[in-house]
Amino acid sequence: MNPDDRTALTALLELSGALLAARSPGQVEGILTRLSVSLLGTRYALFLRFDPGADVLRVTTQAGEHARELGVTLARGQGLSWQAALGAAPVLHVQRAAFPPGAVLLDGSPRQSALFAPLRTPAGELLGVLSVGRLAPEFSARDEGLLRTFANTGTVALERARETARALATREGTLLALGLALEARDYETQGHTARTVALSLRLGRALGLDDEDLDLLRQGAYLHDIGKLSVPDGVLLKPGRLTPDEWGQMQAHVQTGEALARRIPGLAAGVLAVIRSHHERWDGGGYPDGLKGEAIAPLARIFAVVDVFDALTHARPYRAALTVEEALALLRAESGRQFDPRVIEAFLSLRLQSAPDPAGVAWDQP
């Protein structure tokens, strides 16, 4: 293998490895521009994302010392990027000496050699254009081939990222719908699901959770009381004290909820733990398993505080709402008994001052 081929292979391996870790279109675009600069030795690299609604190309990501086009928008047919997007060639190569007068240049930008590679799906859908430029040396056929391969690899990564985003949006909507199903029975104050999701994420960040655990906490917050869909209205909405049999039915909602949630594809163990264990107590007096202290799943310990706080600060059929100050005082008193002291300490540090609008999600505001 000659040195040029070895260099090209190394570049492609580096790009492919980086793109495997990308989870969103923005991350894919950032990797394409950043590595185009470093691997092709260019002054700049731009990604112009196609917006089909507005029918424009817009610079959404840039890299390189001389990149300053972020946000620039090109109407259909305007500039060399559109020429590449509408043409049949896999790469448009514009030499510095032959730079056309109709090209779009920012004030002060020099004429330079440029390559434009459109990203199209196998079905012909335009995703965007990857553009690079430099003063010297002139781009070679090898450079064109590399950028074409970058664009093809980026197309696959963008399609994967878009499908992932669609799946996540569908899952988020499903989880929200399940959470709202309880509110439709007037069991919980309107907005409980949205508020507990938002406040759980804020508390999770205060405790230093990474993105993966925050996502699991959010899913658990959506689904925490799904098991109450099986509890009869006469028990669920009863304004007075529950009988021992009714209390047993109420407590069983966590096991029922876990069993229901297991039928949702892709739910992780951390989500199921929130559903099953958010009524466990730090001192071991909770249900359904009587777990104590560190034996309780961390995400369940976090959500337990949020769930109780939101319940205390909003009216229930059997009692009036407490003020934020009264609720915080109760939580503080239960530190080391009902709740994990470390979680309570982090929760108190959030400095919540007033209850949000009943239907709002203001608990996510600092």
CATH number where 211 lies: 1.10.3210.10
In a domain, 178, yes or no: no
Residues 6+ apart with CB under 8 A from 280: 286, 287, 289, 290, 291, 292, 296, 300, 301, 304
Structure tokens belonging to residue 308:
């109780």
For the CA atoms of 100, 106, 107, 113, the dihedral, rounded to the nearest 10 degrees, stands at -50
pLDDT of residue 189: 54
Percent over 70 (pLDDT), the chain: 83
Contact 16, 151 (CB under 8 A): no
283 and 233 assigned to the same domain: yes
Largest CA distance in the chain: 88
The helix-helix angle for 298-312 and 324-333 (nearest 10°) equals 140
137 and 283 assigned to the same domain: no
Q: Is the pLDDT of residue 32 over 80?
A: yes
Which is more confidently placed, 314 or 208?
208
Q: How far apart are CA 340 and CA 365, in angstroms?
A: 23
Contact 216, 222 (CB under 8 A): no
221 and 294 assigned to the same domain: yes
Q: Could you tell me the pLDDT band of residue 362, with boundaries at 50, 70 and 90?
A: very low
Contact 129, 105 (CB under 8 A): no
In a domain, 171, yes or no: no
| Nearest partner of 279 among 264, 261, 297, judged by Cα | 297
71 and 139 assigned to the same domain: yes
Is 238 one of the annotated active-site residues of the chain?
no
Q: Could you tell me the pLDDT band of residue 89, with boundaries at 50, 70 and 90?
A: very high
Q: Could you tell me the pLDDT band of residue 163, with boundaries at 50, 70 and 90?
A: confident
In a domain, 288, yes or no: yes
pLDDT of residue 364: 41
256 and 332 assigned to the same domain: yes
Tell me 228's DSSP state: G
Among the residue ranges 164-173, 229-238, 268-277, the one predicted with the least confidence is 164-173
Instruction: State how far the alpha carbon of 241 is from the alpha carbons of 19, 48, 70, 234, in Å.
Output: 57, 63, 62, 12
Quick one: average pLDDT of 134-161? Answer: 90
In a domain, 243, yes or no: yes
203 and 87 assigned to the same domain: no
Quick one: average pLDDT of 70-78? Answer: 90
Half-sphere exposure (CA, 13 Å, Cβ side) for 178?
Answer: 20
Structure tokens belonging to residue 215:
């996502």
Share the mean pLDDT of the chain: 85
Q: Is the pLDDT of residue 331 over 70?
A: yes
Q: Is the pLDDT of residue 170 over 80?
A: no
Active-site entry in 192, 228, 276, 278 = 228
- Cβ count near 317 (within 10 Å): 11
Among the residue ranges 48-57, 147-156, 340-349, the one predicted with the least confidence is 147-156
pLDDT tens-digit map of 333-360: 999 999 999 999 999 999 886 554 444 4
CATH number where 69 lies: 3.30.450.40
In a domain, 199, yes or no: yes
pLDDT of residue 291: 97
**Boundaries of domain holding 23:** 3-99+110-163
Q: How far apart are CA 113 and CA 172, in angstroms?
A: 45
pLDDT of residue 180: 67
Helix (H) or strand (E) holding 248: helix 244-251
> What is the side-by-side strand order in the sheet with 44-51?
73-75, 56-63, 44-51, 126-134, 113-120, 92-94
145 and 226 assigned to the same domain: no
146 and 228 assigned to the same domain: no
pLDDT tens-digit map of 282-302: 999 999 999 999 999 999 999
159 and 191 assigned to the same domain: no
Would you call 264 exposed, middle or buried from its count of C-beta atoms within 10 A (0-12, 13-18, 19+)? middle
Structure tokens belonging to residue 34:
């950043």
In a domain, 168, yes or no: no
Q: How far apart are CA 230 and CA 238, in angstroms?
A: 15
In a domain, 125, yes or no: yes
Q: How many domains does the chain have?
A: 2
In a domain, 90, yes or no: yes
Q: Could you tell me the pLDDT band of residue 330, with boundaries at 50, 70 and 90?
A: very high
Which is more confidently placed, 204 or 106?
204
pLDDT of residue 167: 65
Residue-wise burial string across 118-128, b where 16 or more C-beta atoms lie within 10 A, e elsewhere: bbbeeeeeebb
Q: Is the pLDDT of residue 23 over 80?
A: no
Q: Is the pLDDT of residue 63 over 80?
A: yes
Q: Is the pTM of this model over 0.75?
A: no
Among the residue ranges 178-182, 236-240, 315-319, the one predicted with the least confidence is 178-182
201 and 155 assigned to the same domain: no
114 and 12 assigned to the same domain: yes
336 and 198 assigned to the same domain: yes
Residues 6+ apart with CB under 8 A from 157: 19, 22, 28, 31
